Homo-oligomer: A and B are copies of this chain.
Amino acid sequence: MSLVVVGSVAYDGIETPHGRVDRTLGGAATYIALSASYFTGVNIVAVVGEDFAEEDVRFLAGHEIGLEGLERAAGETFYWSGVYSQDMNERTTLRTDLNVFANFEPKLPPAYRSAPYLMLGNIQPALQRGVREQMNGVRFTGGDTMNYWISDYRAELLETISQWDFLLINDGEARQLSGEYNLRKAANAILEMGPNTLVIKRGEYGAMLFRRDAHFMVPGYLLEEVFDPTGAGDCFAGGFAGYLAGQGIDLGAGHIDKRELGRAVIYGSVLGSFCCEKFGVDRFRALTREEIDRRFIEFREFTEF
């Protein structure tokens, strides 16, 4: 059950209280695809520049991520840099060079168009919609967005998410999108906008999933050391969507095993937590499915009563 992942592939400069790295592999599509690759076949659709390193191609390919949709354009790869506060709860962007990403128009290789699962990273809502329209008979579509699109591209965003099965955003974005401060009310309002499933990420406080007839909540995994939170939200998305795709679950179907939705949220949380243990994507250089499943069990142990 293969998953198509669309979004940014970038080079990042990251500074946290634990150190700094520059021009390390990053981008939403990278984190989503790496995380999802532990559960299902993944094909990426993104654009990089002429500077994109062969070792990074090999690293992605080493996770069996399909790269036919990784377009190479004249120019440089999207570059972002930022610095985290001492407690890592705040992040200041130092530089954003869109480079080749400025003209990104995702084009799906023909072989990807019949894939059953689609996960759209945070890009312009019209581009997200265009991707979905290239798919034939997609079984579920999910995506992320951000404050900028919610405030400045609201109509376009609403049209886009009306076609999605799930929307995955953080609590501040859920409040902004719905106009409701209370998250239960915010969730009800967002479920009226189209998606049958809403996942709200709360960073260190965990995550929650809402559907019309049920909700699920989990606290965040307690790391002894958060090394670098960059990409944690995207890793959550990859673990969540990857697990559902791997299990062949159709969110739009009448009957769904609610436990499976909870497990998808847990796998999302597990992947998000591993992501924070090293700089950038470094944790994925050695991460195994056994480690993932061990942490999944740990979640059960510290939440069961």
A-side interface residues toward B, CB under 8 Å?
87, 181-185, 202, 205-206, 208, 214-219, 222-226, 259, 262-263, 265-266, 299-305
CA distance in complex: A17, B303 (Å): 33
- Cross-chain contact B305 with A224 (CB below 8 angstroms): no
Quickly give the copy total for this chain: 2
Contact with A223, one of B184, B215, B304 (Cβ below 8 angstroms): B184
Which B residue's beta carbon lies closest to that of A88?
Answer: B181
> Given A184-B223, A217-B219, A222-B217, does the pair A305, B259 have CB atoms closer than 8 Å?
yes
- Cross-chain contact B262 with A214 (CB below 8 angstroms): no
Contact with A184, one of B215, B224, B265 (Cβ below 8 angstroms): B224
Q: Which residues of B contact A266 (CB under 8 A)?
A: 305
- Cross-chain contact A305 with B202 (CB below 8 angstroms): no
- Cross-chain contact A222 with B305 (CB below 8 angstroms): no
- Cross-chain contact B303 with A217 (CB below 8 angstroms): yes
- Cross-chain contact B182 with A303 (CB below 8 angstroms): no
Interface of A is mostly: mixed
- Cross-chain contact A224 with B182 (CB below 8 angstroms): yes
Q: Which residues of B contact A202 (CB under 8 A)?
A: 205
Q: Which residues of B contact A303 (CB under 8 A)?
A: 216-218, 303
CA distance in complex: A272, B198 (Å): 26
- Cross-chain contact B222 with A183 (CB below 8 angstroms): yes
- Cross-chain contact B219 with A305 (CB below 8 angstroms): no
- Cross-chain contact A302 with B215 (CB below 8 angstroms): yes
Q: Which residues of B contact A183 (CB under 8 A)?
A: 222
> Given A185-B224, A225-B182, does the pair A265, B219 have CB atoms closer than 8 Å?
no
Q: Which residues of B contact A225 (CB under 8 A)?
A: 182
- Cross-chain contact B215 with A218 (CB below 8 angstroms): no
How distant is A109 from chain B, measured CB to nearest CB, in Å? Answer: 36
How distant is A102 from chain B, measured CB to nearest CB, in Å? Answer: 37
CA distance in complex: A305, B257 (Å): 10
Inter-chain pairs besides A182-B225, A185-B224, A217-B303, 16 sampled, C-beta below 8 Å: A184-B223, A205-B206, A206-B219, A208-B219, A208-B222, A214-B301, A214-B302, A215-B222, A216-B303, A217-B219, A217-B222, A259-B304, A262-B305, A265-B305, A299-B305, A303-B303
CA distance in complex: A206, B206 (Å): 10
Which B residue's beta carbon lies closest to that of A188?
Answer: B224
Ranked 5 nearest A-B pairs via Cβ: A262-B305, A217-B219, A205-B205, A184-B222, A184-B224
Among A223, A224, A305, the one with the most B-chain Cβ atoms within 10 Å of its Cβ is A305
